[in-house]
Amino acid sequence: MRIRLCLAALSLAGGAGLATLSAPAASAATCSDIDVVAARGTFEPGTLGLIVGDPVFSALQKKLTGKTLSSYAVNYPADLSLTSAAQGNADLVNHVRTQSAACPNQRYILVGYSQGANVVDNSIGISSAGAVVGSPIVATLPTAVEPRVAAVLLFGNPIRALGKSVTGTYQSRTIDFCATGDPVCENGGDDVLAHLGYTADAGAAATFAAGKV
């Protein structure tokens, strides 16, 4: 019940004061220095995601002033259907694979919020099966692309409520924010509003990514 309330609150937040945030235009094509690939949360409005993706992209633009940035919004339902996260997983991997072939010098920053964190987890080989709005892995980033993933930025990551986290190849390039009491990422968490507050971490996430680029 708490999770459903949290998701409902997230949906409602799109029409509240958060709507004043500016949203970047998503672009999948040009060979920028860095492509920011963002998977939004369940029912989250915005171009890349009003609560996380859009403010993180804005913060990255300010931090990475010597680099050209493009953005891509992972194309998936971001709803409560059983295949939603799997569709996002497939789309993220397909996008990065296509971009890496077209732009051999391009690097990537992966951003995932809530269900979008499940999408990113799966894409880097960490299964979100069993987590809230999770799924089994259906695709992973090719080994050849792995060195070009500069940073992985996760927020309200549901696998953390299962006691899991990103390990292995991408661990040192990953920052994973879980607010105290967030029931989506903290087992036993009971603060629904904590799941909606990750905009405040956009600057810290951008600083972390800047140190990895």
Contact 164, 147 (CB under 8 A): no
Assess whether pLDDT exceeds 70 at residue 14.
no
Mean pLDDT of 74-85: 97
- Which helix or strand (DSSP H or E) is residue 52 part of? none
Contact 152, 173 (CB under 8 A): yes
pLDDT of residue 29: 52
Q: Catalytic annotation on 123? A: no
Q: Catalytic annotation on 114? A: yes
Choosing from 54, 121, 176, 182, which is the catalytic residue?
182
DSSP-derived pairing of the beta strands 69-73 and 107-113: unpaired
Give the pair of three-digit tokens for residue 102.
Answer: 């077209």
Choosing from 84, 114, 128, 135, which is the catalytic residue?
114
- The set of residues, in sequence order, having a beta carbon less than 8 Å from that of 1 and lying 6+ positions away, is none
Digit-coded pLDDT (tens) for 27-64: 445 799 999 999 999 999 999 999 999 999 999 999 99
Q: Catalytic annotation on 95? A: no
Contact 119, 74 (CB under 8 A): yes
- Please provide the size of the chain in residues: 213
pLDDT of residue 5: 36
| Among candidate residues 66, 174, 87, the one with its CA nearest the CA of residue 135 | 87
Digit-coded pLDDT (tens) for 98-131: 999 999 999 999 999 999 999 999 999 999 999 9
d(CA 122, CA 204): 24
Residue 2: pLDDT band (50, 70, 90) is: very low
Q: What is the pTM of this model?
A: 0.88
